């Protein structure tokens, strides 16, 4: 098990280029399964979760050619359907959350989709009911082998229908959209997710020949087509990484420029960080965070304590609440962080409290942060990363802390952040990878 050894308390300075968006990559990499033609995808992040999915696609029979770093050509001409019943498939699929997204395109094109119970973070329940309910409404039959923890959907002739989703699940919407693009007739999905990742997937499918309208809204209309062709697609910069870098700059008192952030796809993210008192400047498509002596959390107009909560897009993404929480530790003022979607995502605050942060964990979903306004520096400790976002939050805390910190289980961080130690060391951080 690898670890990071961090000597904190050093301000950073320089430029960072955000990686391609992990959450988008996990969706768009499954779209080539819908066509026998070549599909080129660029700006693919070189991270564990994405590489695992590429390995799974390859094992299924997808021909994959690396053009250059981050750019691949995919061709799903000869898919081995028998492989999906093997132990190797079950092992690979169960180690990765993103494997769930292969079911929709496989069902659409081949009439069958298989899935072992997916793995991923320990951040609370992430149910799959929404995915399979949508596919059943399109006419698929669903089977679950409880002993093997193995899901199967079958449906040779999918028919378009009206689907009112019980929750605006991003991966659920992506799966149902990919199942519906080759279905007969028209499918309407209401209460659909509308995150930029999903917008990107829909735009990509349209460039392959699909007919999807209502993109960026919560109602998608999909007119089924007979077949899809190849295309070129570029993945957006990762907004979660951009948010992580904003928080890092503030907590460590650093001056950082984040290059090519795609401002129009960041939604409310810059606004929420500004509410913590962080100065964020737009320079073309770059983002400049100047060095600040202190930053003060706003209060509501009536003087009450600021509350920051997650919500489905265009609300604030739950992936950045851990970052907001650690950023608020050195702010002036107080904030209530309300993590509505996942019940285990705030448990890492115990580690921040051990480092000297003033945080009250109210319940599994809510924490109140009393900012220290840099009056007291956090102290370095030994800790373990429970999930991707908490791991980076602890890394940010360690970079601002006095003395040495050690973070174990950094495989969790590597799942979502490409070469994070190398990139931050180039800005003046002191991070050593050990083990």
Residues noted as catalytic: 121
- Cα 5 from chain centroid (whole Å): 25
In angstroms, how far is CA 430 from the centroid of its own chain?
A: 26
328 preceded by a cis bond (ω within 30 of 0): no
Q: How far is CA 375 from the centre of its chain?
A: 34
Q: What are residue 4's phi and psi, to 5 degrees?
A: -105, 135
Residue 105 and residue 114: Cα distance in Å, rounded?
11
Nearest to 17 by CA among 38, 45, 42: 45
CB 239 within 8 Å of CB 264:
no
């Amino acid at each position: 098990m690898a670890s990071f050894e961090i000597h904190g308390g050093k301000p950073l300075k320089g430029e960072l280029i955000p990686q391609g968006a992990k959450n988008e990559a996990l969706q768009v990499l499954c779209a080539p399964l819908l066509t026998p033609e070549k599909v080129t995808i660029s700006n693919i992040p070189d991270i564990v979760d994405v590489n695992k999915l590429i390995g799974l696609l390859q094992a299924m029979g997808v021909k994959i050619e690396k053009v250059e770093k981050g750019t691949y050509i995919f061709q799903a001409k000869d898919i081995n359907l028998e492989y999906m019943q093997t132990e190797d498939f079950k092992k690979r699929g169960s180690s990765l959350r993103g494997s769930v997204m292969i079911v929709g395109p496989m069902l659409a094109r081949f009439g069958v989709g298989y899935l072992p119970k997916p793995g991923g973070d320990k951040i609370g329940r992430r149910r799959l009911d929404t995915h399979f309910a949508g596919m059943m409404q399109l006419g698929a039959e669903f089977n679950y082998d409880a002993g093997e923890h193995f899901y199967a959907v079958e449906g040779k002739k999918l028919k378009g229908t009206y689907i009112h989703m019980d929750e605006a699940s991003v991966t659920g919407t992506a799966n149902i959209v990919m199942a519906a693009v080759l279905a007969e007739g028209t499918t309407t999905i209401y209460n659909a997710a509308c995150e930029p990742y999903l917008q990107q997937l829909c735009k990509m499918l349209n460039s392959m020949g699909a007919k999807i309208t209502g993109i960026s809204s919560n109602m998608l209309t999909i007119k089924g087509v007979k077949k899809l062709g190849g295309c070129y697609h570029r993945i957006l910069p990762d907004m979660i990484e951009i948010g992580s870098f904003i928080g890092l700059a503030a907590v460590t008192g650093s001056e950082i420029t984040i290059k090519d952030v795609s401002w129009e796809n960041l939604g409310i993210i810059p606004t929420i960080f500004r509410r913590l008192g962080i100065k964020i400047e737009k320079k073309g498509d770059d983002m400049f965070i100047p060095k600040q002596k202190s930053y003060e959390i706003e209060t509501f107009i009536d003087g009450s304590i600021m509350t920051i909560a997650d919500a489905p897009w265009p609300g604030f993404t739950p992936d950045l609440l851990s970052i907001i929480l650690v950023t608020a530790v050195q702010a002036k003022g107080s904030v209530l962080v309300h993590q509505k979607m996942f019940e285990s995502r705030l448990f890492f605050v115990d580690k921040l409290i051990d480092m000297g942060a003033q945080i009250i964990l109210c319940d599994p979903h809510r924490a109140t942060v009393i900012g220290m306004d840099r009056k007291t520096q956090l102290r370095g400790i030994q800790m373990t990363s429970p999930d991707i976002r908490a791991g980076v939050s602890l890394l940010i805390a360690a970079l601002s802390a006095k003395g040495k910190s050690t973070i174990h289980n950094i495989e969790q961080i590597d799942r979502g952040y490409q070469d994070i130690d190398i990139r931050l060391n180039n800005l003046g951080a002191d991070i050593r990878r050990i083990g």
